[in-house]
Amino acid sequence: MLKYDKSQQAVLDEFFKEETTWYIQQVLNNFLTALFIFISSGIMIIPHQVWNIAEDKAMLFIIYGLYLSAISVYGQTYTVYSESGEVKELYKVIRWLPVSACQFRLYRIRKCAKLCVKCTVAIMVIRAFIAVGFMHNFCIFDLIIPVIFNLAFPVLLSMVAVFLRER
């Protein structure tokens, strides 16, 4: 089963801190991730009470699709690496580090989950503030919807993507 090893995770943190900080693909991935999250969050912070779900389904699919795209682009940072102009699978580049493939998978899932947690908390707080501050009303769906669609679903998809990619 999957067991978290802090020493191997620290080695991976050090590798990504040193080797990929200004790597152009990572800068581009981070920019696109921030852009997609910024655009989608502008709509996701609207409280549940304002939405007419029956009429706004298409808009919600687009916004959450953009958010899932952001998480996917962010996950690419930990999948491929360009070395000497040649694009390689990242695990083939770091295979000489004292890190197992399982720990590398956990690292990638943890990175995506961390981003999702930060976005979910921010969206929940802003939604609650808007609902209580401007509408003088609060709905439990303002907490449930971000937990499901901004945290659970994207993390589950990133886990599936990581394990399918390794097959």
* Model confidence, pTM: 0.87
Q: What is the DSSP letter of 81?
A: E
Segment 22-75, tens digit of pLDDT = 677 888 888 999 999 999 999 899 888 888 777 888 888 899 999 999 999 998
Q: Supply the range of the domain harboring residue 66.
A: 6-166
Measured from the Cβ of residue 82, the count of other Cβ atoms closer than 10 Å reads 14
Domain presence at residue 1: no
Domain presence at residue 56: yes
Three-state DSSP class for residue 89: strand
Q: Count the domains in the chain.
A: 1
Please provide the size of the chain in residues. Answer: 167
Given a contact cutoff of 8 angstroms between Cβ atoms, the answer to whether 82 and 25 are in contact is yes
Write down the pLDDT at residue 62.
92
Given a contact cutoff of 8 angstroms between Cβ atoms, the answer to whether 25 and 80 are in contact is yes
Which residues on neighbouring strands pair with residue 83, listed in sequence order? 86
pLDDT(166) > 70: no
Helix residue spans in the chain (DSSP H): 6-19, 24-44, 53-76, 90-94, 101-135, 141-146, 153-165
Segment 125-140, tens digit of pLDDT = 999 999 999 988 888 9
Domain presence at residue 64: yes
Domain presence at residue 81: yes
